[in-house]
Amino acid sequence: MLNRLSRRCFCTLAPRPWLFVGLGNPGDKYHGTRHNVGFEMIDAFAHSQGILMDTVHSKAIFGKGFVGEVPVFLAKPQTYMNLSGESTGPLAAYYKLPLNQVLVFHDDMNLPCGVLRLHDKGGHGSHKGLKSVIYHFRGNREFPRLRIGIGSPPGQMDPKAFLLQKFNVTARQRIDEALQEGVDALKLLLVKGLAKSAKGFNKEQKYKHLRVQNLPV
């Protein structure tokens, strides 16, 4: 696989590789929690493409493969959420990737549960995992991200407790649907590029946002 990657990645005409990084917390304790949907998106994409997440690289569970002719690296940092940059930064540096080829998947409380957005850059929005990634990118915020809506805490619930809760049945169904939508969007991105794929995808997700924003979860 490594020789194949070397031959195909560094040919002058070969498509540029992508690094997809899903943010989350390692361990069974956090499996299925709202804060770990970034990990779930990586797993869903890896499964859809037959990419094995079977190695460790730069403090991350790691896999690599091709989607068509495009080389793709997949990573789930095992540093715990708040230190995600300790893995993401070295991975991008190791593969000498420009930051516009590093796509970070993360949970977002500012979007309704199951609603997605694909952006080419942005801030951290008080997300500590993103904050760490930006820090280890030397303050550079111009890297794409896939925001995965998990909804907001009900009433006066502590946001930290909300993030570490598992999804109820209704929310789980919405997230499973969103994971498939995310996989489809990522496959399109690898064919058409970020700008073209994001435009249509975000329009669809905007309509979805309007449909579900007031529905109970």
Tell me the catalytic residues.
Answer: 35
Pairing mode of beta strands 55-57, 60-67: antiparallel
Q: Which 8-state DSSP code applies to residue 109?
A: T
- Cα–Cα nearest to 162, from 170, 152, 172, 171: 152
Gap between the Cα atoms of 31 and 97, Å rounded = 30
CB 134 within 8 A of CB 124: yes
Question: What H or E segment, with its residue span, contains residue 153?
Answer: none
The tokens for 97 are: 């990737």
